[in-house]
């Protein structure tokens, strides 16, 4: 059930029996030499759509550009300022609330979004608290790659080669969605270096091909199908309880 594929009377009829929505959010950033720049948005969107279909919940359009300043030394990456992203999330939530949505689950595909999204939740709630009468809004953020069942499946398939960026689980999922883009050639070094960084230039200097601690050559489209199925099933269980909040 896609918001952008519905008419306004259809949304009105939906709201008569359901006040819940799912909002995918990701990023547009490099994912190493073999990963798609849209990986984070593509993963979040696919999982959100699968969860929406499982629960009969409407899915809003994906916020595809996130807070990715640290990737900006790699061509094709795009970023919003944290303040811009916070405003985008806030405005999306207020738009949904105005029409009668009361529970909004954000399915997130990019770790760099998390702090800003939580700040946007607080900003939105403060604005609603100032209204009289105040519309009730429940919000929650789920990072799909941090779900326990995804952790277990990733360990089973990839051992200690998952890493922290351009990981085999996320690349596998995008290759399941777009198998014509699958590129699991072995990179050099096979396992990328690990470590921390500060800023975009330091990221590029420390991790010159864009990977952190990962070996994406282990990924396959078949693995991606399992990732999608596992993430959607686990998030659907969490979402069902969240949407039932009174």
For residue 48, give the CATH number of its domain: 3.40.50.10310
Ranges assigned E (strand) in 84-239? 103-108, 138-143
pLDDT of res. 223: 98
Torsion angles phi and psi, residue 64, rounded to 5: -95, -15
Query: From CA 66, how far away is CA 45, in angstroms rounded?
Result: 14
Do 186 and 56 touch, CB atoms closer than 8 A? no
Number of domains in the chain: 1
Q: Which of 85, 117, 87, 86 minimizes the C-alpha distance to 104? A: 117
pLDDT over 80 (residue 61) = yes
Domain containing 114 equals 3-243
Q: Which of 216, 218, 242, 245 minimizes the C-alpha distance to 39? A: 216
Range 96-113 average pLDDT: 97
pLDDT of res. 135: 74
In which band, very low, low, confident or very high, does the pLDDT at 145 lie, cut at 50, 70 and 90? very high
pLDDT of res. 35: 98
Query: From CA 167, how far away is CA 35, in angstroms rounded?
Result: 9
Q: Which of 53, 55, 19, 24 minimizes the C-alpha distance to 41? A: 24
pLDDT over 80 (residue 34) = yes
pLDDT of res. 246: 63
């Amino acid at each position: 059930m896609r918001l952008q594929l519905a008419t306004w009377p259809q949304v009105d009829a939906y709201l008569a029996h359901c006040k819940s929505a799912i909002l995918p959010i990701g990023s547009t950033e490099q994912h190493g030499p073999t990963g798609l720049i849209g990986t984070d948005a593509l993963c979040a969107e696919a999982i959100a759509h699968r969860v929406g279909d499982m629960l009969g919940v409407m899915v809003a359009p994906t916020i595809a550009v996130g807070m990715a300043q640290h990737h900006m030394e790699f061509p094709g990456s795009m970023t919003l300022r944290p303040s811009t992203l916070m405003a985008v999330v806030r405005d999306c939530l207020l738009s949904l609330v105005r029409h009668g949505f009361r529970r909004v689950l954000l399915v997130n595909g990019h770790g760099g979004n998390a702090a800003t999204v939580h700040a946007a939740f607080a900003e939105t709630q403060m604005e609603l608290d100032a209204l009289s009468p105040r519309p009730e809004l429940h919000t929650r953020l789920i990072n799909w790659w941090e779900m326990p069942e995804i952790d277990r499946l990733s360990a089973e398939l990839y051992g200690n080669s998952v890493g922290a960026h351009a990981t085999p689980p996320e690349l596998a999922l995008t290759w399941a969605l777009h198998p014509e883009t699958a590129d699991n050639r072995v990179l050099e070094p096979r396992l990328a270096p690990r470590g921390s960084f500060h800023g975009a230039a330091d990221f590029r200097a420390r991790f010159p091909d864009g990977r952190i601690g990962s070996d994406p050559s282990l990924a396959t489209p078949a693995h991606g199908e399992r990732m999608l199925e596992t993430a959607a099933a686990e998030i659907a269980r969490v979402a069902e309880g969240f949407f039932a909040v009174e």
